[in-house]
Amino acid sequence: MKISDVPGKPQFEVGRQYLRKELHDQFQGQRQHGISTPSSKSFIFIFTDPASEEHGYSDRFLENGHFVYSGEGRVGDMTFDGGNERILNHKENGDSLFVFEKVDEHNGADVVTYDGEYEYIDHYWERAPDDNDEMRDAIRFKLTPLGGLDPGINKSEAANLSREDLFKRARESTQEVPTSTKPGARTSYTRSDLVRDFALKMADGVCQACNEEAPFVSNGGKPFLEVHHLYRVSDGGVDDPENVIAICPNCHREVHHGQYGDQLNDRLIENAKMRNQRIQP
């Protein structure tokens, strides 16, 4: 078992294992709750534990990629306050949902695997026992991976598309309702992947901010660039190929943390508009 260090910023890698204690040491939030809401932060930690089913919680990942998550509340009917209200309104509040799954313990601390960023799409009520074995109304949230599920195309097929066709497929995928029923969709090629690959293909190994070639070649043998969202995803819904652009890591840091980052982002928005005009019929 390899436990990763908690990053200084909330940028987690899917599949990595972290100590829950260290997540709270770094970002605060309730240490014992399934729904943890760090103060003054624009994200929410969601923790799921297979052992919690004995307390009337019934979290489960579905074959279509959706995640059913039980609301909080140990005794009596669940209500939409506290963490439940935060999940329900996370989009309106601009909060991200980071999902972690308990997989082990290490020196008395929970080891959790990061399953990715999700978003609320629906909820329903279900009769379930509380801590006193009394039946009550329980909230079940239906969450989906951010950016949607299967776009109906795999990575190798996308790689062979022309720039125009890739843009078209990426646009179409963001406008469809997720309907995938394929097993393992949670780790399949997603709509966000399709949008990202469009941005990288359009850049062709050249940073769209400084116009320099990518600083190095990735392990996959391709020029390494990062895909920047010109607008917060929470501001504009799911990913859209018109709203992403590929830039080098140094420019990416500058746009987010530099003194003139906002001005650089404005310039990138104009660059993307010109790119999109060239690619659209």
Domain boundaries, the chain: 17-145, 155-279
Name the architecture of domain 17-145: Roll (2.30)
Q: Find residue 135's DSSP bridge partners.
A: 129
Q: Report the alpha-carbon distance of residue 233 to residue 199 in Å, rounded.
A: 15
pLDDT tens per residue, range 42-87: 899 999 987 766 555 678 887 667 789 999 998 999 999 999 999 9
What are the phi and psi torsion angles at 43 (to 5°)? -150, 160
Q: Assign 8 to helix, strand or coil.
A: coil
**Cβ pair 70, 140 in contact under 8 A:** yes
Q: How far is Cα 31 from Cα 85, in angstroms, rounded to an integer?
A: 18
Cα–Cα distance measured from residue 100 to residue 129, given in angstroms and rounded to the nearest whole number: 24
Q: From 18, 176, 178, 213, select the one nearest 98 (Cα to Cα).
A: 18
Consecutive H or E run containing 112: strand 109-129
CA atoms within 13 A on the CB side of 92: 6
pTM of the model: 0.54
Task: Kindly give the parts of the chain with pLDDT less than 50.
Answer: 175-188, 233-238
Take residue 109 and report the two structure tokens written for it.
């601390």
Summarised one tens digit per residue, pLDDT across range 185-214 is 334 455 667 777 888 989 999 999 999 999
